[in-house]
Amino acid sequence: MKKFTVHCVFFLFVFVSNFTILPRAGDTGDVQDCVNQTFEIGIAALFAQVHQYSCPMHCEGLTFHEPGQCPVCGMNLEEDKPEESAFFDGETLSGAKSIEERKRQTALMPGLNVGYYYTGWIGYILAILLGWKWGDGLKVASRREERKRGISSAFMSAVFKRRWLVRSLQIVSSVLFFFVIYAGLFGNQNPGRNIAPVLTWNIWWMSLIFFAFFLGQSWCTICPWMATPDFFNRLFARTPKLRWPKRFRNVYLALLLFTAMTWVELVYDAPYNPALTAQMGLAMVVIATFSLIFFERKSFCRYGCMVGRVTGIFGTTGLLAFRRDDSKVCKSCESKACYHGNEKGLPCPTFEFMGAMNDNSNCTMCTECLHTCPHDNILVEWRAPFTDLLGPHRRRLDESVFLIAILGFSIFHGIEMVPFWRESIFDPFWTFLAETIFDPGFLVTYTFLMLAFLALVFVVFWIFVFLSRRLSGNRVYTTRSFFITFAYITLPVSLAYHIAHNSLHFFYEGSKLVRLMSDPMGLGWDLFGSADMPLTMLIPMPILWALQIVCMVLGLFVSVGLVSQGARRLIGNRRQLLGAKIPLIMMLAVFSALCLWLLFQPMEMRTGTAVRSEKIVSAPTPKDAMLRLIVQK
C-alpha cells in the first residue's frame, strides 16, 4: 500500500509539472503543417554559386543573375561573394566590440510535435513507475557474474590484436583530421561552404557519443591528435620522463579545459567559424604533443583530455569493453605486464592494471594489454548497456563533479540554441545591467550567465541530495558521500538528452555533407555533381521525434533504476531507502522535464550562414516558415 501511495505521489508530481512547465516559445500551431511547409518551401541549397544573387532566406535554393527581390518572401536579394581563407586571422578571436556588432541570420529547426511532447510526458510517468520496480531488483554484480552475462567476441579480439589494422585506422583518421584543419584555415570562411564546421560539430560531435555507447572508448584508439605525436613518441618510449603531478591526478584539469572549450565554442560561435574550428583542433595537437614529450606514458589522456574524459564517462554505459577473463590469473601474475609492459608491447598508457579495472572510464582501448598479457587473459566482450554503472566501479568526487558539469553543459547547449534564451533571458538581463548598473558588454554578460547556470545545476543537485539524506534519516554517511554516489544516476539522462538534442542536428544538417563532398573548401568545385543538392531531412521528422522521445524515456528509466541500486549501497533500512529515493527521483523528473521542453522548442541550426543585418526582422509564425533572424543586442 505504501508503494502504491508513493507511485501516486509521483504521478501527481509529474502531472502537475506538465501544466506548470514553460510554454513553447512563439506560435504553438500545428508543427506537422509547419514541417511540411518548410520542406515545400525548402531550406535547400543554402548557398548560391559565386558571383550570383540569392535570397538571404535561401528560399527554394533560387539564384539570380541580377539584383531584385525574392519572388517567394519578398526580401532584397544579396550578392554572393567569395571569402578568402583565414589562416590565423586576427578577426577569428576578435574583441567584444565585434561580437556585440554580430547579427546572425539563422534558420530554426522544428521542435517536437505537440502530440509527441505529451507522449513524452506519458512515457516519463511509465519510466518512473517501471524504473522504480526494476531498480528494486537490481544487485551489484561481481566480475564473475558480469563475465557470465557478457559475450566474448573472438572477432573483435582478432580485430584489435592486428596492429596494422589499428595503425591504418589511425592514419585514416589523422589524414581526415588534417584535411579538416586545412579546409578550416584555407577554405571559404562561409560555414555552409566549408566542410570543417559541418564535419566537426554536426557529424563528429554526435558520432563521438555513439562511439562511446556502442564501442566504449574506441575513439581514443584512433584519436588523430594523439596518433601523430604518438608515432614519434614510440621511438623514445623508454626514455625517462616526468610523472604527472600528484595534486593534478584527477579530472579537474579536464573539466577546466572542457569549460574553456565550451565557452569558446559558444561565445565565439566556433560552429559558424571554420578557422576557429581548425585552430581548436590544432590546439589539441599541440597540447597532446607537449604532454607526450614531457610526461610519462599518456598522462594527459587520463587526467587532462576533455574529450577523452567525456567519452570515458559516457563509455561506462558502453556495450564493448576490455576485461580480464579470470581474476585469479591476474592476482597470481608476477610480471603484471599489462601495467608495466614487456617486449611485446608498451605499458598501459593510462596506468590501469587489468586485474583491478572494473569500468571503461580510463581505458583508451589502446590494445597494448592484448599483446603484453602472458596468460592471454584479456577479453574483448559485449555486455549489456550501463553494466559499469551497475557493477562495483570506483566512485570518486572529481568524477562526480564532472558528471554534474556534463549534465549542466548539455542542458545549457540546448537552452542557448532556442529563441527563449535571447528573448527572455540574455537580452533582458543585459538590458537590466546596462540600465541599472553599467553595460558589461557581451562577453561578460554571456560568461556570467553560462557559469551562473552551471552553478545553479550544482546547487539544485546538492539541495535534492541534501533532502535525500535528511529524509532517509541516515547519519552514518555525509552529504558528500551522497553527492558522490548519486552523481552517477544523472549519466543516463545526460546521455539521452545529448543523443536526442544532437540527433536533430545530425539528421537535419547532416545532408550538408553530401554537398560539401563535392566542394569541401567552398572553392566552386562540383567533384561528384552534388554541390547544388538541397538540404533535406535524412529521415522523416516523425521518426526522429519518436527516437528522441524513446531516448529520453529510456534515460529516465535507467536513472530511476540506478537510484534504488545506489541507495542500497549506502542504506540497508527499507524505510530509510524510501525517504532517500523520493527527492532523487523528483530531481531526475525536473531535469528530464526541462530536457523534454527544450526538445519541444524550435532550435537554431548549428552551422549556417553568418551575415550582418542592420535591423531586427520579426520571425514569421512557424506555420508560415521555419526561418527567423536571431539578433543579439
Sheet with strand 378-382: strands edge to edge: 151-152, 378-382, 320-324
CA dist., res. 60 & res. 603, Å (int):
20
pLDDT tens-digit readout, 45-60: 333 333 466 666 554 4
Weakest-pLDDT range from 41-55, 439-453, 551-565: 41-55
Element (H, E) at 256: helix 252-267
Specify the residue for cell string 518548410: 38
pLDDT tens-digit readout, 218-243: 888 888 887 776 766 666 556 678 88
Query: Angle formed by the axes of helices 205-215 and 491-509, to 10°?
Result: 130
DSSP 84-125: ---TT-TTTT--HHHHHH--EEEEEEP---HHHHHHHHHHHH
Of 577, 546, 616, the closest CA to residue 468 belongs to: 577
Residue 126 grid cell:
511509465
Question: Are the beta carbons of 442 and 431 closer than 8 angstroms?
Answer: no
Query: Angle formed by the axes of helices 441-472 and 252-267, to 10°?
Result: 140
| Region for 381 from its dihedrals, namely left if φ exceeds 0, alpha if ψ lies in -120 to 50, beta otherwise | beta
CA dist., res. 611 & res. 624, Å (int):
22
Please tell me the predicted confidence (pLDDT) of residue 208: 86
Q: Are strands 104-109 and 320-324 parallel, antiparallel or unpaired?
A: unpaired
Please tell me the predicted confidence (pLDDT) of residue 64: 57
Helix boundaries (H) for 343-426: 368-372, 387-390, 397-416, 419-420
DSSP summary character for residue 565: H
Surface-to-core class of residue 397, CB atoms within 10 Å of its CB (0-12 exposed, 13-18 middle, 19+ buried) = middle
Of 161, 148, 141, the closest CA to residue 326 belongs to: 148
**What backbone torsions phi and psi does residue 612 show, to the nearest 5 degrees?**
-105, 145
Specify the residue for cell string 532550435: 603
Element (H, E) at 322: strand 320-324
Reported as a pLDDT band with limits 50, 70 and 90, residue 140 is low
Q: How many Cβ atoms sit within 10 Å of the Cβ of residue 265? A: 18
pLDDT tens-digit readout, 251-298: 999 999 999 999 998 888 888 889 999 999 999 888 888 888 888 888
Q: How many Cβ atoms sit within 10 Å of the Cβ of residue 629? A: 17
DSSP summary character for residue 89: -
Element (H, E) at 326: none
Question: Are the beta carbons of 360 and 217 closer than 8 angstroms?
Answer: yes
Reported as a pLDDT band with limits 50, 70 and 90, residue 508 is confident
Four-residue CA torsion sign, 455, 461, 464, 465: negative
Question: Are the beta carbons of 566 and 485 closer than 8 angstroms?
Answer: yes
CA dist., res. 350 & res. 304, Å (int):
11
Element (H, E) at 529: none
Percent of the chain with pLDDT over 90: 26
Q: Where are the domains of the chain?
A: 31-85+109-136+429-603, 143-390
Surface-to-core class of residue 157, CB atoms within 10 Å of its CB (0-12 exposed, 13-18 middle, 19+ buried) = middle
pLDDT tens-digit readout, 147-204: 555 566 677 778 788 888 888 888 888 899 999 999 999 998 888 788 998 888 888 8
pLDDT tens-digit readout, 399-421: 999 999 999 999 999 998 888 88
